Amino acid sequence: MIKFFLVGWACIGLNYEQKCVRLGSEVIFETHEECVQYFDVISTELYSRDETLEMKFHCVSSGVVEDLL
């Protein structure tokens, strides 16, 4: 059965003061929909705390992650 992970990056700050980091969830999702819902909840919470936050995430199958390792 295919599992899904949330991977991407987040940046905080503006212009030259911006700092970015790559992130990956430790949570394993059974379906792509669960992964997307999790990101929606997390992003809503984080955006409400800091307007300079910029994020880009994707839900990827475990097969893709295994191929990269």
* Nearest CA among 63, 67, 55 for reference residue 7: 55
Any domain includes 54: yes
Please indicate, yes or no, if residue 52 is contained in any of the structural domains: yes
Q: Is residue 39 part of a domain?
A: yes
Residue-level pLDDT at 59: 92
Q: Is 90 exceeded by the pLDDT of residue 3?
A: no
Position 67 confidence tier, pLDDT thresholds 50, 70, 90: low
Whether 58 has a pLDDT exceeding 80, the answer reads yes
Asked if the structure places residue 46 within a domain, the reply is yes
Residue 19 covered by a domain: no
**53 located within any domain:** yes
Residue 40 counted as domain residue:
yes
H or E element that contains 8: strand 4-12
CA atoms of 53 and 50, how far apart (whole Å):
6
Instruction: Write out pLDDT tens, residues 18-51.
Output: 889 998 888 899 999 999 999 898 888 888 888 7
How many domains does one find in the chain?
1
Q: What is the rounded average pLDDT for all residues in the chain?
A: 84
